[in-house]
Structure 1
Amino acid sequence: MTPCPGESVTAMPPIKRRYLPSLGAFATFEIAAKHLSFTLAAKELNVTQGAVSQQIRLLERALEVPLFVRKHNALELTPEGAGLFHAVTAGLDTISAAVSVLAGDEGPQTVTISATDAMASYWLKPLIDSFRLDHPGIGFVVLASDADDTLRNYSEVDIAILCGNERCEVGEELHFLFQEIAQPVCSPGFLAEHGPFDAADDLNQVNLLHLHDRHWSADAIGWQPLGWAEWFRAQGAEWAKAPSSLSTNKVSLLMNATLKGEGVMLGWHHMVRPAIADGQLVFAHPAPITAGRGNFLNCRKKSLKRAGVGAFVEHVLAALRAQGQG
């Protein structure tokens, strides 16, 4: 700025940067803070848990402030740690973006998504297939598990499919997808041979395929069951719990058995919609049931800056709008 005549100019003192620990120490801290676990941080970094713990102790010593509250089998960020976590995340994102510009790299044409097994197979994969018809150059990495809820926290995951309460952290963007609704379904042949099922209790007379309790207690699921007991109760009836030809913790096994005409399963609307549309399955009873919980698309904001990720998110939301769910 040009000074006015007669006005003196005071030079701004140079910004002094105190000694900073290594960038690697801050990167390790960010991963440990994200997981709130030195063990999971070590797994992601492919080093030992002791190496992570040692690096965090050295960082705390250099900064002369505790970053974590260490409890029995648990970690919590101190207020100073929480502030540093947000600053380090923003700083590393800025550095990564600058390096990409210098390298002329617009970002890898790969979208990485985490989900439960059934969501990945019956809801996500058809959307990936339809998206790639117009975007054949974009690849996908799908990390599917009913046993590992920490997959969503891994740094390479761009999008996480979540069910239950809304969970959104700093640097994330959350989109509501749909309510979780289930309804009895079977093959057309099974309905013709054993139906119709006009009353809820009529279903107690046939083979009911159902999810085992182990499914609902899996670490990546861990929410209240939505099974035959809940469905019958909602209809003012009671599940007889007759022996079933198949009880399993895997939705895919139930789907295969139902498609083969072995019995009736509770089909989640978002998973059975394609099979209903092409006539492979039909609704065995008109009454649906909802658990009162929603499904969400959780996106990393820095990932959305990549054209492929942003385009896929819009493809998903457009598909839901076309189905009257968005």
Structure 2
Amino acid sequence: MYGRMSKHPSLSGLRTFNVAARTLSFKRAADQLGLTPTAISHQIKTLEQALGASLFERRVRQVELTARGRELADAIAPAFRSIADAVERFSGVDGRHVVTLGAGPVFASRWLVPRLDAFWQALPDVDLRLHHSPMPVYQQLGQFDLAVAWGDGQWADMHIEPLLRIQVTPVHAPEVQSQAVRLEAPGDVLALPLLHQRNHNGWLQWLQHAGVDPAGAELAGSTFEDANVLLQAMLDGKGAGLGILPFVADDIASGRLIQPWPMTVDPGDAYYLIYNSRALEREPVRKVRDWLQQQMKH
């Protein structure tokens, strides 16, 4: 798309790119920077011309980084993180410290938010800034002091600590099971609309674990990208889904969701705490890391 670099890019252009790369949205970048999406697009195009490389693939409602864009994002994110850290050290108010944590929306809403009171009591001088984006957090670690990443834990060039293993189990709202559908054996769940996250693999894994041959089963139902939206669909009675334990434990205990069978499945992946090599040089970051690990023992 572009030839060789024609001139040095501006710092403001790189800053705009850094935010757009983190959010994967010109609109969200515009909101954060106090600009218009058109201005963001113009700055990105100017940066691409200066570098002689295409940085984003433009889609209808979103943008994605090209290989060169990912390379640039990985290179400049730590620099902007260092600048933010320096500004915090020089402009801190009343000895307060800011620690930035990256996490997915379901972990943040279902595990972290209920524990914020305990966090404030344990670390009253730390302001926690929570960020999430459509991209996996391990792909944008330079934006955070710490991050809680979901996956297999096999990521290069970062420190990785096991944090939380989960189990999944079928759950549904009370109104889903009608008199016409009696859930006695695990295979009976196939008579209900099934709710999926990203693909059918989760249900296939659980059915096989329960001794149900899913061959020929339609596994009909809706598929969701966002685990929080999937959970809301389950709570609204749209079908049966695989609930994540411990995230839905309170919903089961209160009767908002029903767990028809006690069997659970370990999906294989887990939550890990990840951070760059120099992150723990800051005492507030070490304190947040220790608090997260201590909470997992409760």
Matches within 5 A, 1:1-326: 22-34=10-22, 38=26, 41-59=29-47, 65-68=51-54, 71=57, 73=59, 74-78=64-68, 82=71, 85-103=73-91, 108-109=97-98, 112-117=101-106, 119-140=107-128, 149-150=134-135, 159-166=146-153, 173-183=159-169, 201-202=184-185, 212-213=195-196, 216=197, 222=198, 224-227=200-203, 230-237=205-212, 250-251=230-231, 254=234, 267-272=243-248, 285-299=261-275, 307-320=283-296, 322=297
- The whole-number CA distance in structure 2 between the counterparts of 1:202 and 1:85 is 50
| TM-score, structure 2 normalization | 0.60
Q: Would you say the 8 A contact 1:112–1:159 is kept in 2? A: yes
Q: Would you say the 8 A contact 2:234–2:241 is kept in 1? A: yes
Displacement after TM superposition at 1:236 (Å): 1.7
| TM-score, structure 1 normalization | 0.56
Identity rate, percent: 23
Whichever residue aligns with residue 116 of structure 1, its letter is P
Q: Match of 2:212, SS?
A: coil
CA offset digits 1:10-54 (Å, max 9, x no partner): xxxxxxxxx965432231233344456655544543423432343
CA offset digits 1:87-107 (Å, max 9, x no partner): 533443444444444445666
Whichever residue aligns with residue 272 of structure 2, its letter is F
CA offset digits 1:167-221 (Å, max 9, x no partner): 8687x654333344223679xxxxxxxxxxxxx9535679x988624xx1xxxxx
- The whole-number CA distance in structure 1 between the counterparts of 2:194 and 2:276 is 32
Q: Match of 1:289, SS?
A: coil
Q: Closer, same or farther in 2 for the Cα pair 1:128/1:312, shift >3 Å?
A: farther
- The whole-number CA distance in structure 2 between the counterparts of 1:168 and 1:35 is 21
Q: Match of 1:176, SS?
A: strand
- The whole-number CA distance in structure 2 between the counterparts of 1:129 and 1:108 is 17
- The whole-number CA distance in structure 1 between the counterparts of 2:171 and 2:49 is 61
Match of residue 178 from structure 2: none
Q: Match of 1:68, SS?
A: coil
Q: Would you say the 8 A contact 2:169–2:263 is kept in 1? A: yes
CA offset digits 1:259-293 (Å, max 9, x no partner): xxxxx975433325568899999976453223222
Whichever residue aligns with residue 210 of structure 2, its letter is Q
- The whole-number CA distance in structure 2 between the counterparts of 1:112 and 1:311 is 13
Q: Would you say the 8 A contact 1:114–1:142 is kept in 2? A: yes
Q: Closer, same or farther in 2 for the Cα pair 1:70/1:29, shift >3 Å?
A: closer
Whichever residue aligns with residue 134 of structure 2, its letter is D
Q: Would you say the 8 A contact 1:36–1:76 is kept in 2? A: no
Match of residue 175 from structure 2: none
Aligned residues: 270
Whichever residue aligns with residue 66 of structure 1, its letter is G
Q: Closer, same or farther in 2 for the Cα pair 1:255/1:121, shift >3 Å?
A: farther
CA offset digits 1:222-267 (Å, max 9, x no partner): 355534x6433322236899xxxxxx9542575698xxxxxx9754
Q: Closer, same or farther in 2 for the Cα pair 1:154/1:35, shift >3 Å?
A: farther
Q: Unaligned stretches of 5+ in structure 1? A: 1-18, 187-199, 217-221, 242-247, 258-263
Q: Match of 1:133, SS?
A: helix
- The whole-number CA distance in structure 1 between the counterparts of 2:129 and 2:193 is 30
Q: Match of 1:50, SS?
A: helix
Q: Unaligned stretches of 5+ in structure 2? A: 1-6, 173-182, 219-227
Q: Closer, same or farther in 2 for the Cα pair 1:275/1:87, shift >3 Å?
A: closer
Q: Closer, same or farther in 2 for the Cα pair 1:26/1:181, shift >3 Å?
A: same
